[in-house]
Amino acid sequence: MTGALPVALGNYVALASVMFFIGVVGVLVRRNPLVMLMSIELMFNAANVLFMAFARAWLQNAGQIFAFLVITVAAAEAAIGLAIVVAVFRSAATVDVDEVRSLHG
């Protein structure tokens, strides 16, 4: 049994895939940590779109709850990520992720 959707489910999946792929490419090609964080947010939201779409389609509220959880986690993650960026900038005077590699083995 599926709920009525104004737009076909396939479109949501396509949108989410595009958003996720843009996020992945953003993380891989950009060297600015702020932009990388934004790309990660994009991936989270791709997941959220899917959660909402499927929740509506299958009338399961768990998906909506998970979307809220993801939003919370994303907010926390952004806060910690920005704090790390600030801390790294203070100590290394740069935010280029290719320059900061003190964790090499």
* 104 counts as binding another protein under rule CB under 8 A: yes
* 15 counts as binding another protein under rule CB under 8 A: no
In degrees and rounded to multiples of 5, residue 93 shows phi and psi of: 60, 20
Question: Which of these, 13, 10, 93, 2, lies nearest to 46 by C-alpha position?
Answer: 13
CA 11 to chain centre: 19
Binding mask 78-97 for another protein (x = CB under 8 A): -------------------x
* 100 counts as binding another protein under rule CB under 8 A: yes
Q: How far is the CB of 66 from another protein (least distance, A)?
A: 20
CA distance 30 to 35: 7
Could you list the residues that contact another protein (CB under 8 A)?
Answer: 24, 27-28, 31, 97-98, 100-105
